[in-house]
A and B are shown apart, each in its own frame.
Chain A
Amino acid sequence: MKTLINYRFIFLIIVSVIFLSMNVQNAYAQEPKKNTVRLKADYVKTMNKEVAFNLRASSKVDGSNIDVPDIELTVFNEYNDEKVKLGSTITDSNGKGTFVVNDLSLIKPDSTGLYNISVSFKGNDAFKRASKSLSYKDASIEARIITEDSIHYITATLKDAATDSVLPDQYLNVQVERLFKSLRIGEEFNTTDENGTIIVPIEEGIPGVDGILTFEVVLKDSDDYGTVKALVSAPLGVPVVDESTFDQRTMWSPKKQNTIVLVNIS
């Protein structure tokens, strides 16, 4: 009888020792080293259209910078001591994400007319939490096309939207929208005059699909106002003519073009 109880007792002790040691090991395995994430946020406003926040997440892993894909970044609007969530986006394979706001009234400024935005990442198994904040004031650009002495010009006025006052001595870029990057027309830097206005002549002979060109007037990467873009379209371009031989019967055309030849042979 005594030996039986002894065996059971010893068995229990062995099992609990094993159990405990496994737990201890687990506890040790629960704390890997997490990497820091650096967030970058740029603000781009397109007049009469939308506001976009271009976000980028990167991290320094093993000494080199890599993009962090597939993480959720949440965008908040901070005003009056409130933090309102605007939405979130997930970074793509290059660590980039774009958060677009269509209705500007959703973002509220603080009492000084400054818009405060913060972007945060709540962290996951591999990366620590991170956040980045940016502030900007709202600017507006009004662009239109005028014609004088049969020369076409683009004119644009830059204003601070909150105070509705013009902004002189700012650099604006004027470019025409192209497939990949926009093509600059006019000078590299067009300075706004005392009325916050620039005027740039449009050169002749710029091709466009159906002759339509979309011009962009851009305030690029301003410290106070971010990037502001105004678009204006006009049929001032040379219409594009398709010169491809695709529909012709040539030596390199696909087979459906040459059936008649074949039928003639047979």
Chain B
Amino acid sequence: MKTHETLIKDLAPTKFTKLGVIWTSFLVIVVVIGAIAYVDQLIKGQVVTNMRDYALWGIYISNFVFFVATSFVGSVTVAILRLTHNSWRTPLVRIAEIITLAAITMAGITIMIDMARPDRLLNLFIHARIQSPITWDVIIIPTFLTVSLLLLYFPLLPDFAILKNHFKTDSPKMSKLYGMLSLNWTGSDKQKNIQTKSIKIVALLILPVGLILQTIDAWLFSTTYRIGWDSTNFAPYFISGAFVAGTGALVTVIYVVRRVKKLENYITDFHFDKLGKLLSLACIIYLYFNINEYLIPFFTAKQAEMTHLDSLLFGHYAPLFWFVTIGGLIVPIIVLFFKKGRKPASMFAIGLIVVIASWWKRYVIVTPTLLHPFLPIQGVPESWREYSPSVHEWLITFATLAMCLLIITILVRYLPVIPIQRTAEERDELKTAKTTES
């Protein structure tokens, strides 16, 4: 019981430190500025962006794809690691689920920002055409959101009950809130039974739903004729890309949360080592798909493909392309090969680079293709032949990223970031195992 008390004390949510307040306020300010920019966009129209008839999708869409990709982390940690019996995932699952929830919520919001007529949002439901990949997206995103929410919520029930007791004296209001959320969890066998079964179902569901989500996201592009998008490779390419982006985000957020909440005893070097190996695996798989996507077409060197690939690898987009490929893939693979590279601080740096490279990778996928149409670009202003985001677009994009971090921050503030009940059980099991041994 004593260990459990320390456990609870370590893992229970605590009030914001000064740093926490500053961080949250900063995020709120960024979000508000973005909201103002968005209102301006609504009033003036999307002319405030730098998107025009050729570069018709810009960073709003690549930002959206990034959020969808990052939301795959829940499927990875909870489902894939669970299916492969990697028990070290326990302290990481909750944070993974939080990131998933935040990312998929922001994906839903970001795509609405790109719609030029959000006042007609309901048309997507009233007049939905099932043949359209966007309709598939409209179906899968809320579905994934629901499953993720349940996957976060079901395991939280015992933790909420624990927190209810923990906060009884210090903050009765919070205690009452936690109590309501725990839905009268008593820990009885019957409850545990149902909870285990429910979690099992949802955890099993999240993998196919997550895979379908990434696939549909890829099909938004590969169901068109455009060079660079019309690739049979796209769905698995996106799935593995999501694996990379999600794991990178997980590593980064885990490091920060661990530092801030002083969870060094629970998330140890061992966990980072394992995460490093997982990230390395993800990057290797993604590299394989990148080779298929960007290297092999040089073999047949079709004219249209060459125009596109030349501009990506040697032309206008070369600096960006090589940054995301070398910085975002090759460097992590190399660094993570070494045990020293998998130490926490190094992992944080790598995770950060992977996340930033993932964001820019989606930009490289979305916009260059649009600037290489089949028919020549003529009869339009010269500035339409290029695209670089406008101030409005940057402000709004930063606001969505800030909002994602804000959601994560708030959830981390109020939820136990490591499953208390489960950790306790595992420790007990470990103890009993040790005692039976000796």
Q: Would you call B435 an interface residue if the criterion is a C-beta within 8 Å of the partner chain's C-beta atoms? A: no
CB pair B131–A251 under 8 Å, yes or no, is: yes
Give Cα A265 to B130, complex, Å. Answer: 10
Q: Would you call A255 an interface residue if the criterion is a C-beta within 8 Å of the partner chain's C-beta atoms? A: yes
Q: Would you call A186 an interface residue if the criterion is a C-beta within 8 Å of the partner chain's C-beta atoms? A: no
Determine chain A's interface SS by DSSP, over half rule: loop
Q: Would you call A254 an interface residue if the criterion is a C-beta within 8 Å of the partner chain's C-beta atoms? A: yes
Q: Would you call A261 an interface residue if the criterion is a C-beta within 8 Å of the partner chain's C-beta atoms? A: yes
Give Cα A176 to B205, complex, Å. Answer: 67
Q: Would you call A252 an interface residue if the criterion is a C-beta within 8 Å of the partner chain's C-beta atoms? A: yes
Chain A residues within 8 Å of B127, by CB: 255
Chain A residues within 8 Å of B131, by CB: 251-253, 258
Q: How far is the CB of A77 from chain B (nearest CB, A)?
A: 54
Q: Would you call B29 an interface residue if the criterion is a C-beta within 8 Å of the partner chain's C-beta atoms? A: no
Q: How far is the CB of A261 from chain B (nearest CB, A)?
A: 6
Q: Give the A-B pair count, Cβ closer than 8 A.
A: 14
CB pair A261–B130 under 8 Å, yes or no, is: yes
Q: Would you call B129 an interface residue if the criterion is a C-beta within 8 Å of the partner chain's C-beta atoms? A: yes
Chain B residues within 8 Å of A261, by CB: 130
Nearest neighbor of A255 in chain B, beta-carbon distance = B129
Q: Would you call A18 an interface residue if the criterion is a C-beta within 8 Å of the partner chain's C-beta atoms? A: no
Q: Would you call B194 an interface residue if the criterion is a C-beta within 8 Å of the partner chain's C-beta atoms? A: no
Q: How far is the CB of A243 from chain B (nearest CB, A)?
A: 21
Nearest neighbor of A252 in chain B, beta-carbon distance = B131
Nearest neighbor of B129 in chain A, beta-carbon distance = A255
Nearest neighbor of B131 in chain A, beta-carbon distance = A251
Q: Would you call A179 an interface residue if the criterion is a C-beta within 8 Å of the partner chain's C-beta atoms? A: no
Q: Would you call B430 an interface residue if the criterion is a C-beta within 8 Å of the partner chain's C-beta atoms? A: no
Q: Would you call B345 an interface residue if the criterion is a C-beta within 8 Å of the partner chain's C-beta atoms? A: no
Chain A residues within 8 Å of B33, by CB: none
Chain B 109-150 near chain A by CB (<8 Å), digits 1 or 0: 000000000000000000111110000000000000000000
Q: How far is the CB of B132 from chain A (nearest CB, A)?
A: 9
Nearest neighbor of B126 in chain A, beta-carbon distance = A255
Q: How far is the CB of B206 from chain A (nearest CB, A)?
A: 20
Give Cα A255 to B132, complex, Å. Answer: 10
Nearest neighbor of B139 in chain A, beta-carbon distance = A265
Question: How many chain A residues have a CB neighbour from B under 8 Å?
Answer: 9
Chain A 237-266 near chain B by CB (<8 Å), digits 1 or 0: 000000000000001111100100110010
Chain B 74-90 near chain A by CB (<8 Å), digits 1 or 0: 00000000000000000
Nearest neighbor of A262 in chain B, beta-carbon distance = B130
Q: How far is the CB of A246 from chain B (nearest CB, A)?
A: 15
CB pair B130–A254 under 8 Å, yes or no, is: no
Q: How far is the CB of B124 from chain A (nearest CB, A)?
A: 12
Chain B residues within 8 Å of A262, by CB: 130
Chain A residues within 8 Å of B129, by CB: 254-255, 258
Q: How far is the CB of A2 from chain B (nearest CB, A)?
A: 72
Q: Which of A173-196 contact B (CB under 8 A)?
A: none
Nearest neighbor of B223 in chain A, beta-carbon distance = A251
Give Cα A19 to B54, complex, Å. Answer: 65
Chain B residues within 8 Å of A251, by CB: 131
Chain B 335-361 near chain A by CB (<8 Å), digits 1 or 0: 000000000000000000000000000
Nearest neighbor of B128 in chain A, beta-carbon distance = A255
Give Cα A20 to B74, complex, Å. Answer: 92
Give Cα A258 to B130, complex, Å. Answer: 7
Give Cα A209 to B170, complex, Å. Answer: 87
Give Cα A193 to B131, complex, Å. Answer: 65
Q: In the complex, which of the residues B127, B128, B131 has the most CB atoms of chain A within 10 Å of its own CB atom? A: B131
Give Cα A255 to B130, complex, Å. Answer: 7
Q: How far is the CB of B23 from chain A (nearest CB, A)?
A: 43
Chain A residues within 8 Å of B128, by CB: 255
Q: How far is the CB of B215 from chain A (nearest CB, A)?
A: 16
Q: How far is the CB of B229 from chain A (nearest CB, A)?
A: 18
Q: How far is the CB of B83 from chain A (nearest CB, A)?
A: 26
Q: How far is the CB of A263 from chain B (nearest CB, A)?
A: 10
Give Cα A261 to B131, complex, Å. Answer: 10
Chain A residues within 8 Å of B130, by CB: 255, 258, 261-262, 265
Q: How far is the CB of A252 from chain B (nearest CB, A)?
A: 7
Nearest neighbor of A266 in chain B, beta-carbon distance = B139
Give Cα A252 to B130, complex, Å. Answer: 10
Q: How far is the CB of B159 from chain A (nearest CB, A)?
A: 35
Give Cα A265 to B128, complex, Å. Answer: 14
Give Cα A262 to B131, complex, Å. Answer: 10
Q: How far is the CB of B222 from chain A (nearest CB, A)?
A: 15
Q: How far is the CB of A86 from chain B (nearest CB, A)?
A: 50
Chain B residues within 8 Å of A265, by CB: 130
Chain B residues within 8 Å of A258, by CB: 129-131
Give Cα A57 to B264, complex, Å. Answer: 92
Give Cα A252 to B128, complex, Å. Answer: 13
Q: How far is the CB of B131 from chain A (nearest CB, A)?
A: 5
Q: How far is the CB of B208 from chain A (nearest CB, A)?
A: 15
Nearest neighbor of B127 in chain A, beta-carbon distance = A255
Give Cα A251 to B127, complex, Å. Answer: 16
Give Cα A262 to B128, complex, Å. Answer: 10
Give Cα A253 to B142, complex, Å. Answer: 26
Q: Could you name 14 residue pairs across A and B whose Cβ atoms are closer than 8 Å?
A: A251-B131, A252-B131, A253-B131, A254-B129, A255-B127, A255-B128, A255-B129, A255-B130, A258-B129, A258-B130, A258-B131, A261-B130, A262-B130, A265-B130
User: Which 4 A-B pairs rank lowest in CB-CB distance, beginning with the nearest?
Assistant: A255-B129, A258-B130, A262-B130, A251-B131
10 additional A-B pairs beyond A254-B129, A261-B130, A265-B130, beta carbons within 8 Å, are A251-B131, A252-B131, A253-B131, A255-B127, A255-B128, A255-B129, A258-B129, A258-B130, A258-B131, A262-B130
Chain A residues proximal to chain B, CB less than 8 Å:
251-255, 258, 261-262, 265
Chain B residues proximal to chain A, CB less than 8 Å:
127-131
